[in-house]
Structure 1
Amino acid sequence: MTMKVRHLPRTALLALAATAAAPALAQGAAPGSTADEITVTGWRLRQLDVIVPTGSRLDLSIRETPATLDRIGADEMLTRGFRTVEEATGSLPGIISGGSPGDPSLFSMRGFTGEQITILHNGLYLGPANMINRPGNSFNLAGIDVLKGPGSVLYGQGAVGGAVNIVNKRPDFARNSSQALAAYGDFDTVSLGLGGNRVLSDTLAARVDASYHRSNGFVDDTGPHSFNVTGGLRYRSSSTLSVELSVDYLRDRLSTYYGTPLLPAGAATDPIPGILTSASGAMVDRRTRFVNYNVADSRANSWQVWPRLAVTWSPSDTVTLANTAYYFHADRQWINAENYTYNPGTGRIDRDRFFVFHRQDLVGDQGSATFRHHLAGLSNKLVVGFDYSHLDFVRSRGFPDGDSVDLLRPVRGSFGPLDRRVSPTRWDQIALFAEDALDLTARLKLVTGLRTERLFLTRENFNLDGSFAAGSSFRRVYKPFNWRAGLVYDLTPAVTAYASYSTGQDPVGANLFLVNAGQNFALSNSRQVEAGVKASLLGGRGSLTLAAYDIERRNILTQVAIDTVSNIGRQRSRGLELSGEARLTPHWAVTASGTYVDARYGNFVDPNYGVAASGNRPPNVPDWTANVWTSVQKIAGLPLEAGGGVKFVGERFGNTANTLVLRPYATGIVYATWALTPRLSLTGRVNNVWNKSFVQWADIYYPAQVMLGEPRRAEVSLLARF
């Protein structure tokens, strides 16, 4: 079946973060190392025995989790110059990102994109990422965790390709510490940060981090601005009770670069070679590379506040109770010309108009009980809990008439009048979950989990005159149920093998905020089979992970044109992922990864619009990706660290018909850090060192244009730790 819909631009955003600087050379030994070893600031050894809550609520380590987990920490983000969650996440194995202000947290992972990748904040789901996500500045983050494959058993509907968990810095009782950052770079880019942790007493610790970032953007007057403050107060009355109150405040403006138009061969007098090929002969003209086609009063602004209260209590050695209550409020505005279509009849660019306002209020509570006991004489850990949220989401939007502007010297003009249609959405979601880890033997662990939930969705639509649109308004109840089971076996103390089966569910089209009355479908179903090996190498100075997976998603809709979705039977993805790290000498470290994915649509034929895509690869899914990073300290005995990295992205397609081919590309980063004092460092860095022109993403919601990657950017930064 085929149905008409009008795409509503996705409203996750590109909150460009304020961290473009490298940390100082560490002066102490790494945890678990000898006194004469040093910490490599541009790289952290993947410690397979570190607990990562993103993969399970059972306090399992990376080694014990029957799934693939990747992480990047605060120091790595600083050193490599990743200003945003998007940049940092895209550096991890097998992940690429989109970069559009209509959907800045758009990732491609294991053959899936968009809402098949769930975005979490401190382990909590705040709504569909392409509608609500504003990741904030990476200076405020402790790290980013990625769980590959279906994660619905942990986080509910939406996670098919994987889940990205953005983790804020938190107060702790380790020590007093502070950090200050100042950076300046090309495109008039400024990044500032100030934060610190204070141990106020044996029972009270506090932390506050504030960051600011602004840029003019590599396309003139499209740059982002953001101001992010995160803070927390942690009370620990004893070893059994912890209470933490935290808040996250963000005010930002996204980049307003929506892409560069595709031109026919006859109109492109200076085509950029090697970045794409098209069956129609379309190409990108170098003359339009830095032209801003948006209106002069364009906007992509928001502010949000998110307080949370988390309580953990262990009444005994065998029982732990935890509860997190939270409230999330956000207001967002997009007022832009977003589609730029070359008109061969006039030789001009035809622009649309679109605006959307959001007001979101979300109240939630998540509680769990963990039991450590023996079952039939076997060591066992069990978690049971609930997850509840109530959402009020009001979207106001409109589609005023567009205009036409000159190809090379567009008069940007103004947006025009705002005539709104209002669409309130409400949901009440209640879920029950359980996870269990049973030690069948000293070397074999069985990890299982399940989640059942009810999601009551109400959508109301109103016409321009304010009257109620009963025909497009509806109520619906979704009843997802998901589970996973995995075996983890220690082949040796250093080498662990695992195998798992997991399921996931997500909306058949875009996301729950955009389901229409005519889309009377249940959720799509997915399943994954995965097997792999995780190994510590070189006496703990290295690690290696290998994973093979097979994912199938069934009963889905996909976009085939700007106002059309079509039903397709299934999508299947199979792949391999290999990553490794090694400290080759006390001063030299290398990390590398390579991934391959074979993703294909199943039965996909749309006779109404001429799309015959059965067996085609989904858009923006590369067949190969690879990353290499190296870092060297104490060069020539000096307080100097230098390093760099290369990211390779293989061939992708820019549409479902696979007629727009995005060529492979490789970009590099180099940096050098001089420790002026033990607590103060100066860094110079160059991103996209070869000044490579490449297509970062081809968004099918904007079929007449492509998102080009940022050109070479140089910057200097000063980082103080005290």
Structure 2
Amino acid sequence: MAMSAPLALAVGWSGFAHAQEAAADQPVDVITITAAKTRSLEQFTPTASRLGLSARETPATLDVIDSDQMIGRGFATVEQAADSLPGVTSGGSPGDPSSFAMRGFTGDQITVLRNGLYIGPSDMTNRPQNTFNLASVEILKGPASVLYGQGAIGGVVNVVNKGPSFGTPEVDLLATVGSFGTTNLGVGGTTHVGDKLAVRLDVSRTGTDGYVHGAGANSTNATASLVWRPAETWEIQLTLDYLQDNPSTYFGTPLVPASFATRPLKGVVSASDGQTLDQRMRYVNYNVSDARIHGEQTWPQLLVKWTPRSDLTFENFAYYFHADRRWIDAETYQFNSATRLIDRDRFFVFHKQDLVGDQGSVTYQGDLFSLPNKVVAGFDYNHLDFDRTRGFPDGDSVDPFNPDPGLFGALKGKHSPTKWDDASAFFEDVLDVTPALKLVTGGRFDVLDLDRKNYNFDGSYSAATSFTRTYRSGTWRVGAVYTIQDVITPYVSFTTGQDPVGSNIFVANASENFGLSRSHQVEVGVKANTPDHRADATLSLYDILRQNILVQTGVDVLSAAGSQRSKGVELAGNLRLTDHWTISANTAFTDTHYGYFVDTNTGLDDSGKQPANIPKWTANLWTSVSEIGGLPLEIGGGLRYIGKRYANAANTVSLDSYTLVDIYASYRLSPGVMLTGRINNLFDKAYAQWADIYYPSEVMLGAPRSAEVGIVAKF
């Protein structure tokens, strides 16, 4: 039973994945899925540059987890995959269902891309994403406005689809069942007709009843892609991505006074006023019975590539994105000391988003001052129509232990349309100063015309909160990479970024009609591997300063914070101790704080405080041992440590540190079929994963111990 190895995906300057013929197309005898493995610093890393640079040649930190590792570690979502990489954490409530934190920043300061495309602020547009359809999750650390426009101060998360292959035809299967009614199903494959046409189709579905009563979730993702090569100099790729999801309606567990919590949940939160969590409320759902969160999005994309000469390439990438999203919930749960009940609100919001865009570039490789040089120059344009309707019906109060779910009530809201036209020009250049030294530079200039309108509940126009503005930004970066004997590569870089000063640009009001904030990062580091490539390591140190900012401290409440500074270090390594024993580990330290900052929501001086949901320390360790006792058996596991974080800007409520342990085993039933089993959160650790600033009276608790079994196959 012949199998094809994982596809080698090459991604253009836009980050769009198109399959390439490579050594990975050669057939192998057995399935190759493992939780820990060494990586190649020579791997092409498109998220960090449009120049086709390898990880070693890039003067930045780029972390990648591929499909085999995601399946081997049992990661069903992008969030789980990203969390295993250095210094990355994720969380969010259903109102912000997929939020990332890195290098001291979170929310809209982390840009989330799909195949290199930006569709809007992550806390407004991002959705939980299945991993079966993906080739990789790639994370670029630090400001990336020079590549992707406004935002991207802390970094970029790029989700890359699997693409068609002209190699051996392949069929992939995945099926797992687990605790809390969890299922994960996927089927996909690629084939080709001669050397002119290749196609790929992947469909996956995840579902769960949820560990909180009545808060199940499910999602379905389908991607189809076709590559046509009508001539040696032309390549055309058409992709269609469809996602439909119904995320969990669990918005958190409310804090209560210590005097009320007869069974306190210890080691999870600490508060200066003595509030805590009650074990009796850990799995209680306080949402209404007809709560619903739903999203549906369709995304056709067309890439055309023309290479008239070996030193000259033209690319054009056109796309259209449409999404409908809705939330109908009771979202805020606050303990009332007078009534000893939980007070609930009501909130609903509907989104309709249409985005059309086109990116074009030309790449030329030649000599500059008699030195080898490669340059990319191009344009990026997109037009957005975003309609948002929302309302706040009256709330009620329910019993803390046996809440009457009740119903949501009438839907009466106000309308807020947003339009923008965003045009930019950019360039990147790499100059080989010597055979060992590369100078990498880039620049981008954006003009964003924003039209933001608000209407009252009676339909009348709200001139006081509406505004129009043209934002102009210029960002740049410069970096140097020096390779010593092909095994040690130190680098240094300086990068700038610009983004909106306050909340995400989709919901900005006239009170936020300011110019863009400015940021810059200095980063130094080293990338190294042993001559036999059995071990590799990366080390980076950074210093980021973001100035002229507003911080969202509550619903529709923003406060001037002046600045935020973040310094830190990240270390990652992989080691193949024997042919069958591999270890992967990473750790990160982050020191971040606000400058002058008075919270107008509370009146407190929060100058020098640490932003919410940012741990100082994180660490991950994965190991796997295969061919145990000469059997086709692999056993492994992972350990994840998250340090203490704060739940608010005042740092009065902290989320305690925690360590999670996962274990797994896999057994090859045949060369292309593997049986898997795993236990997550082995010691059933209770922990707080996230604290949403919109809901300061509650925290999101993490999943308890769970188990699953499954089958993975490639034919």
| Residue 375 of structure 2 corresponds to residue 382 of structure 1 | yes
> Separation in 2 of the partners of 1:315 and 1:24?
31
Within the candidate set 501, 524, 534, 2:527 is matched to 534
| Residue 335 of structure 2 corresponds to residue 342 of structure 1 | yes
Name the CA shift for 1:602/1:181 in 2 (closer, same or farther; >3 Å): same
Amino acid at match of 1:321: F
Tell me the secondary structure at the aligned position of residue 138 of structure 1.
coil
Cross-structure match for 1:226: 219
> Separation in 2 of the partners of 1:583 and 1:39?
15
| Residue 87 of structure 2 corresponds to residue 94 of structure 1 | yes
Cross-structure match for 2:447: 454
Q: Deviations over 1:626-681 (max 9, x none)?
A: 10000111001001011100010111111111111211101011100011111111
What are the within-5 Å matches in structure 2 for residues 34-53 of structure 1? Answer: 41-53=34-46
Within the candidate set 103, 106, 114, 1:121 is matched to 114
Cross-structure match for 1:244: 237
Within the candidate set 403, 413, 421, 2:414 is matched to 421
> Separation in 2 of the partners of 1:182 and 1:636?
27
1:559 CA drift (Å): 2.4
1:24 CA drift (Å): 12
Q: Larger relative CO (CA 8 A, sep 6+): 1 or 2?
A: 1
Within the candidate set 268, 271, 294, 1:301 is matched to 294
Cross-structure match for 1:551: 544
Superposition RMSD on alpha carbons, in Å?
A: 1.9
Alpha carbons 1:24, 1:679 under 8 Å: kept: no
| Residue 635 of structure 2 corresponds to residue 642 of structure 1 | yes
Cross-structure match for 1:407: 400
Cross-structure match for 1:654: 647
Cross-structure match for 2:322: 329
Cross-structure match for 1:176: 169
Amino acid at match of 1:271: P
Q: Deviations over 1:549-572 (max 9, x none)?
A: 000000111123444211011100
Alpha carbons 2:31, 2:672 under 8 Å: kept: no
Alpha carbons 1:543, 1:582 under 8 Å: kept: yes
Amino acid at match of 1:356: V
1:214 CA drift (Å): 1.0
Amino acid at match of 1:496: T
1:698 CA drift (Å): 1.2
Tell me the secondary structure at the aligned position of residue 139 of structure 1.
coil
> Separation in 2 of the partners of 1:380 and 1:433?
17
1:701 CA drift (Å): 1.1
> Separation in 2 of the partners of 1:452 and 1:498?
25
Cross-structure match for 1:693: 686
> Separation in 2 of the partners of 1:594 and 1:259?
28
Tell me the secondary structure at the aligned position of residue 150 of structure 1.
coil
| Residue 701 of structure 2 corresponds to residue 708 of structure 1 | yes
Q: Deviations over 1:474-516 (max 9, x none)?
A: 1111101100000001122110010000001111111111211
Alpha carbons 2:91, 2:98 under 8 Å: kept: yes
1:237 CA drift (Å): 2.5
Cross-structure match for 2:57: 64
1:420 CA drift (Å): 1.6
> Separation in 1 of the partners of 2:463 and 2:41?
55
| Residue 669 of structure 2 corresponds to residue 673 of structure 1 | no
Cross-structure match for 2:183: 190
Tell me the secondary structure at the aligned position of residue 548 of structure 2.
strand
Within the candidate set 264, 275, 280, 2:273 is matched to 280
Alpha carbons 1:478, 1:523 under 8 Å: kept: yes
Cross-structure match for 2:585: 592
User: Which moves more between the two structures, 438-447 or 470-479?
Assistant: 470-479
Q: Deviations over 1:86-135 (max 9, x none)?
A: 11111111011114211122111001111000000000101111111124
> Separation in 1 of the partners of 2:448 and 2:156?
20
Cross-structure match for 2:78: 85
> Separation in 2 of the partners of 1:310 and 1:251?
24
Cross-structure match for 1:435: 428
> Separation in 2 of the partners of 1:255 and 1:116?
24
1:606 CA drift (Å): 3.9
> Separation in 2 of the partners of 1:55 and 1:382?
15
> Separation in 2 of the partners of 1:135 and 1:105?
6
> Separation in 1 of the partners of 2:30 and 2:417?
58
Alpha carbons 1:308, 1:326 under 8 Å: kept: yes
1:240 CA drift (Å): 2.2
Name the CA shift for 1:149/1:312 in 2 (closer, same or farther; >3 Å): same
> Separation in 1 of the partners of 2:5 and 2:680?
20
Alpha carbons 2:622, 2:638 under 8 Å: kept: yes
User: Which moves more between the two structures, 267-276 or 525-534?
Assistant: 267-276
Alpha carbons 2:341, 2:397 under 8 Å: kept: yes
> Separation in 1 of the partners of 2:484 and 2:574?
20
> Separation in 2 of the partners of 1:538 and 1:589?
17
| Residue 129 of structure 2 corresponds to residue 140 of structure 1 | no
What are the within-5 Å matches in structure 2 for residues 471-482 of structure 1? Answer: 471-482=464-475
1:45 CA drift (Å): 1.9
Alpha carbons 1:386, 1:430 under 8 Å: kept: yes
Cross-structure match for 1:5: none
1:302 CA drift (Å): 1.1
Cross-structure match for 1:507: 500
Amino acid at match of 2:471: Y
Name the CA shift for 1:486/1:401 in 2 (closer, same or farther; >3 Å): same
Name the CA shift for 1:24/1:705 in 2 (closer, same or farther; >3 Å): farther
Cross-structure match for 2:12: none
**Count of residues in correspondence between the two structures:** 697
Alpha carbons 2:30, 2:671 under 8 Å: kept: no
Within the candidate set 391, 394, 410, 1:398 is matched to 391
1:467 CA drift (Å): 2.0
Percent of aligned positions that are identical: 54
Alpha carbons 1:24, 1:675 under 8 Å: kept: no
> Separation in 2 of the partners of 1:244 and 1:203?
12
User: Which moves more between the two structures, 104-113 or 443-452?
Assistant: 104-113
Name the CA shift for 1:602/1:180 in 2 (closer, same or farther; >3 Å): same
> Separation in 1 of the partners of 2:646 and 2:616?
10
Alpha carbons 1:25, 1:681 under 8 Å: kept: no
> Separation in 2 of the partners of 1:499 and 1:705?
42
User: Which moves more between the two structures, 458-467 or 311-320?
Assistant: 458-467
Amino acid at match of 1:491: I
Tell me the secondary structure at the aligned position of residue 539 of structure 1.
coil
Amino acid at match of 1:160: I
Cross-structure match for 1:3: none
Amino acid at match of 2:583: V
Name the CA shift for 1:717/1:24 in 2 (closer, same or farther; >3 Å): farther
Q: Deviations over 1:37-78 (max 9, x none)?
A: 995622332211111110000000100110000011111111
> Separation in 2 of the partners of 1:432 and 1:135?
32
1:25 CA drift (Å): 11
User: Which moves more between the two structures, 443-452 or 198-207?
Assistant: 198-207
Amino acid at match of 2:362: A
Cross-structure match for 2:311: 318
> Separation in 2 of the partners of 1:481 and 1:443?
30
> Separation in 1 of the partners of 2:466 and 2:601?
27
Tell me the secondary structure at the aligned position of residue 549 of structure 2.
strand
Amino acid at match of 1:290: Y
1:136 CA drift (Å): 2.8
1:470 CA drift (Å): 2.2
Q: Deviations over 1:435-477 (max 9, x none)?
A: 0000111111100000001000001211222222222221111
Amino acid at match of 1:401: D
